[in-house]
Amino acid sequence: MLTHLTIKNFALIEELSISFSEGFSIITGETGAGKSILLGALGLILGKRADLSSLKNKDEKCVIEGVFMISKYQLKSFFDENELDYEEQTIIRREILPSGKSRAFINDSPVNLSELVLLGEMLIDIHSQHQTSELAEENFQFAIIDAIADNRVLLENYTLKLKAFRKLKSSFEELENSLTAALKEQDYNSFLYNELVEAKLIENEQLELESDLEKLTHAELIKEQFEKSISLAESDQFGLLVHLKEVKTAIQKISTFSNEYAELFNRIDSLTIELKDIVAEMNQMAETVVHDPIQLENIHQKLQVINSLQKKHQVTSVEELLQIQNELQNKVISVTTLEEQKDSLFKAIEACTLELNELASKIHQNRIKSIPLLNDLLVKILVQLGMPNVQFDLKITATNVFYSNGKDTIQFLISTNKGSDFGLLKKVASGGEMSRIMLAVKSILANYTNLPTLILDEIDTGVSGEIADKMGEIMKEMSGKMQLFAITHLPQIAAKGDMHYKVYKSDNELNTKTEIKKLSIEERVLEIAQMLSGSSISESAINHAKALLN
């Protein structure tokens, strides 16, 4: 519910601040007084685009602020989803700066226009005669029948399930594309992988093989040099060990004379031990050096395989080949995995389709059952509004397509005169008839849904007398369930309001400005009398106005 509206520096408004209450509020004023300016200002805080032409004074910013009581609208989830502070008394503010930049705030938190639009749609419904074309839109027609059918919970579940279904379908299509691409490469990847597996590659193997190749290739030279070295070290007369032993004995004799000599002896002793170990190892190595043509050929072949694979895969080490082998293995395995995932997704889609069909079927059945009730309610109201021969034919057809609100299509057919054929609503009904049908629809919806604040902008255009009086009664009844504003030129409707506001222009030497005020009882009498008789108010008009108000 809109409780307060403040407007500064907008169009013809310098500064305006006014409070509203629940129930039925009337807004009147002469043509051009500025009623559309009020709606334009409200439009800005509901997310409409703004420009510098909105500013009355181009050097100052424009500020429009609306205060709403939202405790009845169950909007906490919206605030949570958009990370906004939830307040039962929520303030929406819109600012237009002289630079042309626009800013929006919800409870002092900056928001973008898309968030403002979403919240605005749940708070205020501004409806004019020119917007009755909404009646011809399928989504709006479904909204009417679904409200009567009490399909809200079913539609919420359907929407969630449809979102999951579309996500599954998208994943399935992506998986199919991946699988198709993987299958094209499967044979080649398998060949490459098997080729690497058959090579029986071992980490660091290449260096060892190349070392063994050198040993086997030069086996005779290696053995010859080992034997020569061993002979020089172990010769009984001239060997290194014999001479080193004599040196050791000589130094040992003087080692007790000083620490330096003792240290020298220890070093010679260590050298002797090290040389004996070296000679022992050379003996062992010499025994292992054997010229083996078969092993040499095997190593040659293995290195050729490794070099060939390195060249094919454009790498320089066995470690890189092993990494490629692992990658190829994953690709080969992934095809099987992708096929398993595809089967799993297909089953999930089948299950989701079944659930969607069940929900859509229940929604369809509820819609079909609700058609007679909606038809009766519409006819009952429209007969009172001067359409005594109106008839409706609502056709709801089940299809095989998952739409956003079920699997149905709808045709909203109408006949306004006796003997006339049924036709589409937008083609058969006149502008005035569309306005009355829309009022009937809004009146019905007020009993089935928690409608936001409704502003009816001259929806009564083209009617008068008893029909206008009945429209006023319907609006009055609707206001018992919602906050309702009616901008009207008809005294019969104006008299039905709980509150009455007048929009008017005031002039001074410098400019003209638009203002609004709440009328007292006496002022209401004069305003309605003027609506009845024009600028010169007669006594009979005043009496008529009092009668209407009573």
| Whole-number percent of the chain with pLDDT over 70 | 96
Structure pTM? 0.67
> How far is 159 from 152, CA to CA, in rounded Å?
10
Q: Which pLDDT band holds residue 192 (cuts at 50, 70, 90)?
A: confident
pLDDT above 90 (res 23): yes
Mean pLDDT, to the nearest integer, of 479-496?
Answer: 92
Q: Which residues contact 275 (CB under 8 A, 6 or more apart)?
A: 233, 240, 241, 244
Residue located via tokens 């310098």: 14
Q: Which pLDDT band holds residue 184 (cuts at 50, 70, 90)?
A: low
Q: Which residues pair with 411 in a beta bridge?
A: 395
Query: From residue 294, how far is each of 52, 68, 193, 346 by CA, in Å?
Result: 94, 95, 28, 58
For residue 375, the one-letter residue type is: N
Mind listing the pLDDT tens digit for each residue in 521-530? 999 999 999 9
Q: Which residues contact 183 (CB under 8 A, 6 or more apart)?
A: 335
pLDDT above 70 (res 478): yes
> How much is the pLDDT for 382?
93
User: Is there a contact between 93 and 424 (Cβ–Cβ < 8 Å)?
Assistant: no
Q: Which residues contact 239 (CB under 8 A, 6 or more apart)?
A: 231, 232, 233
Mind listing the pLDDT tens digit for each residue in 97-149? 888 888 999 999 999 999 999 998 889 988 876 666 788 889 989 999 999 99
**Residue count of the chain:** 550
Phi then psi for residue 44, to 5 deg, are -65, -40
Of 486 and 332, the structure prediction assigns the larger pLDDT to 486
Q: Which residues pair with 27 in a beta bridge?
A: 487, 501
Q: What is residue 8's three-state secondary structure? A: strand
Phi then psi for residue 396, to 5 deg, are -115, 120
User: Is there a contact between 498 and 509 (Cβ–Cβ < 8 Å)?
Assistant: no
Q: Which residues pair with 395 in a beta bridge?
A: 411
DSSP string, 384-434: HTT-TT-EEEEEEEEEEEEETTEEEEEEEEEE-STTPPPEEHHHHS-HHHH
> How much is the pLDDT for 128?
72
> How much is the pLDDT for 187?
64
Strand order in the sheet with 124-128: 124-128, 453-457, 484-487, 24-28, 499-507, 512-518
Dihedral angle over CA of 404, 409, 415, 420, nearest 10: 150
Mind listing the pLDDT tens digit for each residue in 294-308? 777 777 777 777 788
**Tally of CB atoms within 10 A around 270:** 10
Written as six digits, the tokens of 338 are: 């992708």
From the number of C-beta atoms within 10 Å of its C-beta (0-12, 13-18, 19+), residue 273 rates as exposed
> How much is the pLDDT for 186?
66
Mind listing the pLDDT tens digit for each residue in 436-447? 888 899 899 888
pLDDT above 70 (res 58): yes
Q: Taking Cα atoms as reference points, which of 178, 237, 203, 214 lies closest to residue 289?
A: 214
> How far is 425 from 412, CA to CA, in rounded Å?
6
Of 215 and 41, the structure prediction assigns the larger pLDDT to 41
Written as six digits, the tokens of 399 are: 């299809």
pLDDT above 90 (res 513): no
Pairing, β 102-106 against β 124-128? unpaired
Homologous superfamily of 2-149+385-519 in CATH? P-loop containing nucleotide triphosphate hydrolases (3.40.50.300)
Mean of per-residue pLDDT scores for the chain: 86
* In the chain, where the domains are located: 2-149+385-519, 180-336
Q: Which helix (H) or strand (E) holds 71?
A: none
Angle between helices 318-384 and 465-478 (to 10 degrees): 130
pLDDT above 70 (res 47): yes
pLDDT above 90 (res 231): no
Q: Which pLDDT band holds residue 334 (cuts at 50, 70, 90)?
A: low
Mind listing the pLDDT tens digit for each residue in 251-275? 888 888 889 889 998 998 898 899 8
What Rg value do the Cα atoms of the chain yield, rounded?
A: 47
> How much is the pLDDT for 131?
62
